[in-house]
A and B are shown apart, each in its own frame.
Chain A
Amino acid sequence: MREALWLVPLLPFVGVLLNGVILWKRIPKRVVALIACGTVGLSCLIGVGAIASYMASPEYATHEPFEQVLYLWIPAGALQLSDGGFADFSVEMGFLLDPLSAVMLFVVTFVGFWIHVYSIGYMHDDPGFQRYFVYLNLFMGAMLLLVLGNNFLVLFVGWEGVGLCSYLLIGFWIQEKFPPYAGRKAFIVNRIGDAGFLVGLFALASTFGTLNYREIFGRIASDPRLVEGEYVLGLSLAAFVALCLFIGAVGKSAQIPLHVWLPDAMAGPTPVSALIHAATMVTAGVYMVARSNVLYQLAPGISDLVAVIGAITALFAATIGLAQTDIKKVLAYSTVSQLGYMFLAAGVGAYGVAIFHLATHAFFKGLMFLGSGSVIHAMGGEQDMRKMGGLRKVLPTTYWTFLVGTLAIAGIPGFAGFFSKDQILASAFEGHKLLWMVGLVTAGLTACYMFRLLFMTFWGEFRGSEEQRSHLHESPPVITIPLVVLAVGAVVSGWIGLPRLGHWDWNWFGHFLEPVMATVGDHGEAAHHLSVGLELALMALSVVVAALGIYMAWRTYGGSLGLAGGQRWADRFPTLHRWLENKYYVDELYDATVVKGTWASARGLYRFDANVVDGAVNGSRHVTVGTSFLSGFFDKYVVDGLVNLVGWMLQRWSHFFRRLQTGVVSQYALVIAVGMVVLVFFYVVVALRG
């Protein structure tokens, strides 16, 4: 079955081909949905089968990955390496199935499948139904290439592909003004990160002569000194590549300072926000860091940077989430914040924990986005929480599933988020106390703003218009069933990664991922040898903090308080509230500097082109016209002038000589006489001389 691995990324592309090209606008919605969801569902099943087959295989027993090469994609030939030697550079189209990619494969296909099903209901009345599913399938194919690729270039192809689909899907409603703008913003900000990513790839290729994971990481593992010598800018090769790749991750996973695209990406359809901007695409950066953990282990400075940025982003986004009124924006900033947690974990060396949180987050954040979609659908398109309230009575299924997600993200024990977040904090506690503190505070804030969202939306009295009230209804099963499935996942997914408490080691997940996160050299990640007591104490502390956050939220928004509580806080800290509400004015800063700068230079260059370049071209026109004028002038006056001169002279002379022909014979005789006299004269002169 694992031989059929190549079908997993291929099937969604087949869906694209069918829905987008061959059967475009020729089939009813039912068939479109069938093709789209069917291909993803099949991918999921085949993927699970492949994983099972792999786990039963001998390679798995020896901690070897399963590699499947389809064909030689780029046989480039001789590449000069940075040390002067030559390597035969080639890139295959191949897939790698190991524990890490297996986890990613399952998360992507499973969550993706249920979001596809959800979309059938959500996008049912949209005229772009077929186009939507074409893009969604295209995204799935690209994401699967990303996670299954066996070399950095296939990963990059998928990386770019999901970026493209993100742009297509954010700006899905092209008839509006904002969505296409948001799509462009996302793509451009991503591109900045991608530039750094590419530089990292170049460095890798020119050092190792290949981009294949096993070759690169294998060579590093056997001789870490390969990447520890000084390379450029005072960094070792490992540090430089780690930094460059991380820049790409910052763009793709919306970390500071390239986070600005994700909140605006909420302009796309809600299932898109769920799939791409919660569960899968944004996690590609985390996956990439985990995949390259060998490099990050050998670049401690950069790893610290990763952790710091992750922590700052987590705190920063959480504070903004407290003051947002759009339900999707709150979830967006929440995503940014949780991604920060993942990078914090990766930065302190807990790569497996980062992936764990990635998986649990995919479930509960995906769930909550879909839930918010259900709410928005019921509210007839309204996304402002100030107009909601009391919806738990009208949307019970939505409410209960949303509650599960909220409890999970808040880190309440028993739910998935608790286990993953707790492990992050535990990993940070050892050696990075300050970061641990930041993470803890953020956890409290997370619980606070998430429950604020819950209370504002589902509790209290309805604050919307009468028309909206009459429209309220629970969503159809095609929407609610995925909610339930994901809610189950939000609970269950945590149980496979229980922390190690002394002898009680049920961390199946962590062990599962161990072969991939093998320590390199003597840079072993500090095994969490926290004592049981300390571990439990930390757990309790995080629960207390979460409870504190929930309490604050309930005090402000809970019950029948409605918006009054929030308003009191806003009045007490008006400046702070304004800064939070306006996202610390980061977008405004970027707009004033980068955006306007780029526009100004574009205009300047355009003027250069129009005036100097075109001016030169037009100038050459003038030169040509002038030259041709001169030439014509020369021809007309000099050349023709000479010709005319000859004619004129002839005329004048003939005029002159004509006067000789007087017709008077005497005068002819005179001429003869003159001639005769002249001859005589010459005779005389000659006689005189002689």
Chain B
Amino acid sequence: MDFLVANGPALLFYLFASIAVAAAILVISLRNPMYSAIALLVTFLSMAALFLLRHAEFLAIVQIFVYGGGIMVLFLFVIMLVNLHRLRESRMFGVQWPMAAVVGLILIALIGFVVVNTPFGPAEASPESFVSIDGESVGNTQAVAWLLYREYLLPFEIVSVFLLVAMIGAVVLARKE
């Protein structure tokens, strides 16, 4: 029990990391897109947990809501719309998969090399800035909101417009002629 307590965050990290990686692999390697979608959902949920471990509470919730509740549902709708589950005969991977694998390996090697050799100092265990506004302890959501609607108002508005455009675009694209 002490071990768990002592290494709790680490263990949780490794747990959710493994789940995330495994699910990610499943996403790209399952034949049935429906299953891939489910795996992706699992990945999102793991990611949310990982966010929580880093004191990004608001973001974790947003992740679940938007990704899990919005995007994945959208995916599932579209999958079912196009009846993809019927397409089973043909190949899964394109002819370029060896090259892609090599590229992937090289990339992770490079990233890994760089990251591992960068001496990050220790981070604050529980940063004050995440949960306070002007010194006042409020909670992550308010802190994020305080920053979002003041410093980053313009990007926020632009993103709204962007979402509007995306929505219109999606409607137009998917419209029946």
Chain A interface residues toward B at CB < 8 A: 664, 666-667, 670, 673-674, 676-677, 680-681, 684, 687
Q: Which B residues between 72 and 105 are near A, CB-CB below 8 angstroms?
A: 94, 96, 99-100, 103
- A interface footprint on B98-127 (CB within 8 Å = 1, 0 otherwise): 011001001100110110000000000000
Residues in A neighbouring B114, C-beta threshold 8 A: 684, 687
Residues in A neighbouring B106, C-beta threshold 8 A: 677, 681
Query: Which residue from B94, B96, B110, B113 sits with its C-beta under 8 Å from A677?
Result: B110
- A666/B113 in contact, CB under 8 A: no
- B107/A666 in contact, CB under 8 A: no
Distance to closest chain A CB from B104 (angstroms):
8
- B107/A677 in contact, CB under 8 A: yes
Give me the 6 closest cross-chain CB pairs, A-B, nearest first: A677-B107, A673-B103, A670-B96, A667-B96, A666-B94, A680-B110
Q: How far is the CA of A583 from the CA of B43 in the complex (A)?
A: 142
Q: How far is the CA of A670 from the CA of B113 in the complex (A)?
A: 22
Distance to closest chain A CB from B41 (angstroms):
24
Q: How far is the CA of A681 from the CA of B99 in the complex (A)?
A: 17
Closest to B114 in A: A684
14 pairs across A/B with beta carbons < 8 Å? A666-B94, A666-B96, A667-B94, A670-B96, A670-B99, A670-B103, A673-B107, A674-B99, A674-B103, A676-B107, A677-B110, A681-B110, A684-B113, A684-B114
Q: How far is the CA of A3 from the CA of B84 in the complex (A)?
A: 144
Residues in A neighbouring B99, C-beta threshold 8 A: 670, 674
Residues in A neighbouring B107, C-beta threshold 8 A: 673, 676-677, 680
Residues in B neighbouring A684, C-beta threshold 8 A: 110, 113-114
Residues in A neighbouring B113, C-beta threshold 8 A: 684
Distance to closest chain A CB from B13 (angstroms):
26
Q: How far is the CA of A105 from the CA of B138 in the complex (A)?
A: 165
Q: How far is the CA of A639 from the CA of B99 in the complex (A)?
A: 42
Residues in B neighbouring A680, C-beta threshold 8 A: 107, 110-111
Distance to closest chain B CB from A306 (angstroms):
120
| Interface footprint category on B | 10 to 19
- B110/A670 in contact, CB under 8 A: no
Told that A666-B94, A673-B100 touch, could you supply 17 new A-B pairs with CB distance under 8 A? Answer: A664-B94, A667-B94, A667-B96, A670-B96, A670-B100, A673-B107, A674-B103, A676-B107, A677-B107, A677-B110, A680-B107, A680-B111, A681-B106, A681-B110, A684-B113, A684-B114, A687-B114
Residues in B neighbouring A687, C-beta threshold 8 A: 114
Q: How far is the CA of A687 from the CA of B117 in the complex (A)?
A: 11
Q: How far is the CA of A343 from the CA of B119 in the complex (A)?
A: 142
Chain B interface residues toward A at CB < 8 A: 94, 96, 99-100, 103, 106-107, 110-111, 113-114
Q: How far is the CA of A674 from the CA of B102 in the complex (A)?
A: 10
Residues in A neighbouring B100, C-beta threshold 8 A: 670, 673
Distance to closest chain B CB from A422 (angstroms):
138
Q: Is the interface of B mostly helix, strand, loop or mixed?
A: helix
Residues in A neighbouring B111, C-beta threshold 8 A: 680
Distance to closest chain B CB from A300 (angstroms):
124
| Most-contacted residue by chain A among B94, B99, B103 (CB, 10 A) | B103
Residues in B neighbouring A673, C-beta threshold 8 A: 100, 103, 107
Residues in A neighbouring B110, C-beta threshold 8 A: 677, 680-681, 684
Distance to closest chain B CB from A671 (angstroms):
9
Q: How far is the CA of A161 from the CA of B11 in the complex (A)?
A: 143
Q: How far is the CA of A666 from the CA of B113 in the complex (A)?
A: 27
Q: How far is the CA of A381 from the CA of B99 in the complex (A)?
A: 122
Q: How far is the CA of A105 from the CA of B94 in the complex (A)?
A: 130
Distance to closest chain B CB from A648 (angstroms):
28
Distance to closest chain B CB from A66 (angstroms):
128
Distance to closest chain B CB from A574 (angstroms):
122
Distance to closest chain B CB from A117 (angstroms):
126
Q: How far is the CA of A676 from the CA of B110 in the complex (A)?
A: 12
Distance to closest chain B CB from A585 (angstroms):
111
Q: How far is the CA of A188 from the CA of B32 in the complex (A)?
A: 122
| Most-contacted residue by chain B among A664, A667, A677, A681 (CB, 10 A) | A677
Residues in A neighbouring B103, C-beta threshold 8 A: 670, 673-674, 677
Q: How far is the CA of A673 from the CA of B100 in the complex (A)?
A: 8
Residues in B neighbouring A674, C-beta threshold 8 A: 99, 103
Q: How far is the CA of A110 from the CA of B11 in the complex (A)?
A: 163
Q: How far is the CA of A666 from the CA of B106 in the complex (A)?
A: 19
Closest to A664 in B: B94
Distance to closest chain A CB from B36 (angstroms):
16
Q: How far is the CA of A667 from the CA of B96 in the complex (A)?
A: 7
Distance to closest chain B CB from A240 (angstroms):
111
Q: How far is the CA of A674 from the CA of B111 in the complex (A)?
A: 14
Q: How far is the CA of A674 from the CA of B100 in the complex (A)?
A: 8
Distance to closest chain A CB from B73 (angstroms):
26
Q: How far is the CA of A666 from the CA of B96 in the complex (A)?
A: 9
Distance to closest chain A CB from B29 (angstroms):
15
Residues in B neighbouring A676, C-beta threshold 8 A: 107
Residues in B neighbouring A664, C-beta threshold 8 A: 94
Q: How far is the CA of A684 from the CA of B114 in the complex (A)?
A: 7
Q: How far is the CA of A687 from the CA of B100 in the complex (A)?
A: 25
Distance to closest chain A CB from B102 (angstroms):
9
Q: How far is the CA of A12 from the CA of B78 in the complex (A)?
A: 136
Distance to closest chain A CB from B27 (angstroms):
16
Closest to B93 in A: A666
Q: How far is the CA of A172 from the CA of B6 in the complex (A)?
A: 152
Closest to B99 in A: A670
Q: How far is the CA of A687 from the CA of B111 in the complex (A)?
A: 13
Q: How far is the CA of A670 from the CA of B94 in the complex (A)?
A: 11
Q: How far is the CA of A470 from the CA of B94 in the complex (A)?
A: 133
Distance to closest chain B CB from A439 (angstroms):
131
Distance to closest chain B CB from A30 (angstroms):
122
Distance to closest chain B CB from A99 (angstroms):
131
Distance to closest chain A CB from B91 (angstroms):
12
Q: How far is the CA of A664 from the CA of B103 in the complex (A)?
A: 18
Distance to closest chain A CB from B132 (angstroms):
36
Q: How far is the CA of A684 from the CA of B110 in the complex (A)?
A: 8
Closest to A666 in B: B94
Residues in A neighbouring B96, C-beta threshold 8 A: 666-667, 670
Q: How far is the CA of A667 from the CA of B103 in the complex (A)?
A: 12
Distance to closest chain B CB from A278 (angstroms):
122
Closest to A667 in B: B96
Q: How far is the CA of A673 from the CA of B110 in the complex (A)?
A: 14
